[in-house]
Amino acid sequence: MTDTKITTFWSAAGGVGKTTLAVVQAQELARQGEKVALLDFSETRPEICRHLGLPFLSPEEILPAIEEKPMVTGKIFARKGNLHVFTGVPLEQFEMFQEKHFAAIIQGAREKFKNSIIDTNAGIFFSATAAALKASDNINVVLRPDMPCLEDTAAMINFLSERWGINRNRFKFYLNRILPGKGELDRETAEKILGREVLVVSQKRTKPENRLLKFFRKGGLIHAHKSL
Ligand SMILES: Nc1ncnc2c1ncn2[C@@H]1O[C@H](COP(=O)(O)OP(=O)(O)O)[C@@H](O)[C@H]1O
Ligand SMILES: [Mg+2]
């Protein structure tokens, strides 16, 4: 398939809203009628499938399916309507998977879906995160509004650009200022530290309509997909 796009949600610090925003964006694209791949690449507790009410696909069975040519995507993605979800690999089984396996899953998604959204871990060196960062057309960097998060982000992006050759223009920045009880920095400060435009994740005061969003945000619907 030509003109396909891989978008990764990534951050330097944990607990900033990556999973929340990745799911919101994938659901929004699916709602618009597109077939979308949503890849859960968080290594400790893959949780997207549980929230979407999907079965967890066994990593042992996925591994041979990845190596078949052509790849058997039906065995790798669990399906819910237009969403096709790679349900992830928990920590206990993570060592079976190398960066090349995650890269192959991304390539399989790229060949089949116009849009693929990847939810990653914080940091750089997990094989799944590394594969996602190297393969992505867009890297949506989620920021917590505090100084350590912004400084770590700037340092890691320098590394990714200088050592792995990842073009800085692929990074887009989202300041999640509505995380409960986390930091107060404003957009201007974030832009000064990163030297780039930063968008703020805002909140819509309507009731969440679906279970997943209810789970993620009790009280107000996260309303970021328009700018993502
Ligand atoms: N914009 C937001 N408004 C309110 N709560 C949020 C928002 N973004 C994330 N959260 C909450 O913060 C916590 C961490 O979010 P999560 O998406 O799991 O972060 P990450 O994937 O980066 O670890 C979750 O409990 C989530 O519901
Ligand atoms: Mg997460």
pLDDT tens for the chain, 228 residues long, are 668 999 999 999 999 989 988 998 898 889 889 999 999 999 888 999 998 999 999 999 999 999 888 888 888 999 999 999 999 999 999 999 999 999 999 999 999 999 999 999 999 999 999 999 999 999 999 999 999 999 999 999 999 999 999 999 999 999 988 777 778 899 999 999 999 999 888 665 444 444 444 444 433 334 444 455
- Which of 24, 179, 205, 212 maximizes ligand 1 atoms within 8 Å of its Cβ, making it the mutation to test the pocket? 179
pTM equals: 0.91
Q: Ligand 2 centre and the CA of 69: distance in Å?
A: 31
Confidence at residue 11, expressed as pLDDT on a 0 to 100 scale? 98
Say how far apart CA 63 and CA 24 lie, in whole Å.
Answer: 28
Q: Ligand 2 centre and the CA of 108: distance in Å?
A: 22
Take atom 1 of ligand 1 and give the residue whose Cα is closest.
178
The ligand 1 atom nearest the CA atom of 224: 1
The ligand 1 atom nearest the CA atom of 201: 1
Output b/e per residue, 1-37; b: 16+ Cβ within 10 A: eeeeebbbbbbbbeebbbbbbbbbbbbbbbeeeeebb
- Which of 11, 19, 20 maximizes ligand 1 atoms within 8 Å of its Cβ, making it the mutation to test the pocket? 20
Burial class (CB in 10 A: 0-12, 13-18, 19+), 77: buried
Confidence at residue 202, expressed as pLDDT on a 0 to 100 scale? 66
Which residues are in the CB-under-5-Å shell of ion ligand 2? 18-19, 42
Of all ligands present, the nearest one to the C-alpha of 21 is: 1
Angle at 216 between CA 213 and CA 221, to 5 degrees: 50
Q: Which CATH homologous superfamily contains domain 5-142+210-223?
A: P-loop containing nucleotide triphosphate hydrolases (3.40.50.300)
Confidence at residue 109, expressed as pLDDT on a 0 to 100 scale? 95
Residues whose CB falls within 8 Å of the CB of residue 208, separated by 6 or more in sequence, listed in order: 214, 217, 220, 221
Q: 99-112 vs 127-135: helix axis angle to the nearest 10?
A: 40
Of all ligands present, the nearest one to the C-alpha of 203 is: 1
Take atom 24 of ligand 1 and give the residue whose Cα is closest.
216
Confidence at residue 74, expressed as pLDDT on a 0 to 100 scale? 84
